[in-house]
Each structure stands twice: as structure tokens, then as C-alpha cells.
Amino acid sequence: MKMTRLIPMLPVKSMPVSVDFYCGMLGFEVETRKDEWGWAMLRFDECRLMVDQSINAHPPKHRDPVVYLYPSDVVAYHRQLRKNGLAVPELSVTFYGLAEFRISDPDGNRLWIGQTPSTDGLVTKMKTKSPGKLKDGDQCNVVGGVHAGKSGIVRDLKTGKTGFVSITVVQANGERFKTLARNVVVQTKPA
């Protein structure tokens, strides 16, 4: 197993303004841009930088950057960190299609470690499970991923290129977030 990339993800107030700055002033180019997420991947030769206005749910508060690590085998790396005695959460597949886990260093710096699940049978290694019969309008509880413990109404079911189904969950307070369908269970209706 080797580490293949390290990409910082900077919290920004406005992704379009940041893209204009990094591209217009510093010479970066847009590699990928998702306006609906408020996120963009920028590149300058072999260097990459992510700018994201959604990585802090409380914008008025201090916003912490994220360093994204890309090992060649996230399952093996996850196993190694646990063997080293580090308490790490379970691997989960994000709504943007990466198998990842998230930790913080001793100073609170956020490290997100991920890999594309289609790489080398990663999905099989993770022992994924089917989300079952999920439909628009279902009331659900989130049981996996970064939004575990939240609940809401299922909206916008979409199947991505990797075959994973992403959904939007609308909470009772109107806030929305994306997750994978495999991370939720449908609440049963009382008889």
C-alpha cells in the first residue's frame, strides 16, 4: 500500500469567488466543479487544491481546513491505523462516491482518507449492503456515514457512475444533506 495523493480542502465563504481568485490570479485551472455542492477541484500542473463552502455547517464560526489523503488501498490503510492503536470510524461510501473515513490529528486538524470504491474490488472488501426498497418521500434514519444519527425525508434518489445510489435527506428543520442510500434505514410507520 502506498499513499498516492494528498490534497488540501480549504473552507471558503464563496466557491465562485475562490475559483476566480485561484484561477484568475494564481494560475490554477478548474479540474472539476460542482456548483450545487459549493465545491471545486483546482489544479496547477500536478498540484491539486479543493475549495468548499459546505465543509463547515456553521459558517459564522471558525472554519477548519481539511487535508484529503488518497492511499492506494484504503481498506488496508484503515486496517493498519487500527493495528497501530488509532481509534478510527468504520469505512463508509460518501454521496460523492469515495470510500472514506475521517479522523483528526492531536491538534484537531481534520484528515479525510478515501479511495474510489471501484478500485481493485474495494466495494467487495468493504462488505457493502443493499439499501433495500427506498423511495422518494420515505421517512428515514441515517445509520452510517458522516450524518449518522440524523433523520428526515428521502428526496432526489440518483444512481452515480459507480453504481451507488445517492439521496438528499430533508430534516424537520428544513436543512438538507446528501448521503448514500446504503447509509439509511426506512422508519416503519405505526400500525
Task: Please indicate whether residue 58 or residue 85 has the higher confidence score (pLDDT).
Answer: 85
R_g (Cα) of the chain, nearest Å = 18
pLDDT at 148 over 90: no
**How far is 77 from 100, CA to CA, in rounded Å?**
11
CA–CA distances in Å: residue 120 to residues 12, 72, 125 = 34, 9, 9
Q: Domains plus CATH for the chain? A: 3-125 (3.10.180.10), 139-186 (2.30.30.30)
The pLDDT value recorded for residue 48 is 93
- Is pLDDT above 60 for 11? yes
Answer whether 19's CB lies under 8 Å from 29's CB. Answer: no
**Alpha-carbon distance 119 to 145, whole Å?**
20
Q: Are 10 and 68 in contact (CB under 8 A)?
A: no
For 60-65, which contacts have Cβ atoms below 8 Å and span 24 or more sequence positions? 63/11, 64/11, 64/108, 64/109, 64/110, 65/8, 65/9, 65/10, 65/11, 65/109, 65/110
Say what the alpha-carbon torsion angle 45, 40, 66, 155 is, to the nearest 10 degrees.
-150
Higher-confidence residue of 176 and 130: namely 176
pLDDT of residue 160: 74
Over residues 30-36, the mean pLDDT reads 94
CB atoms within 10 A of CB 102: 17
Summarised one tens digit per residue, pLDDT across range 50-77 is 998 877 656 666 667 888 888 888 888 8
Per-residue pLDDT of 95-107, as tens digits, reads: 777 888 998 876 6
pLDDT in tens, 116-133: 765 455 544 554 444 457
* pTM, to two decimals: 0.51
The C-alpha cell that represents 84 in the structure block: 497501530
Sign of the CA dihedral running 49, 55, 58, 63: negative
Q: Which of 41, 40, 5, 38 is nearest to 113 (CA)?
A: 5
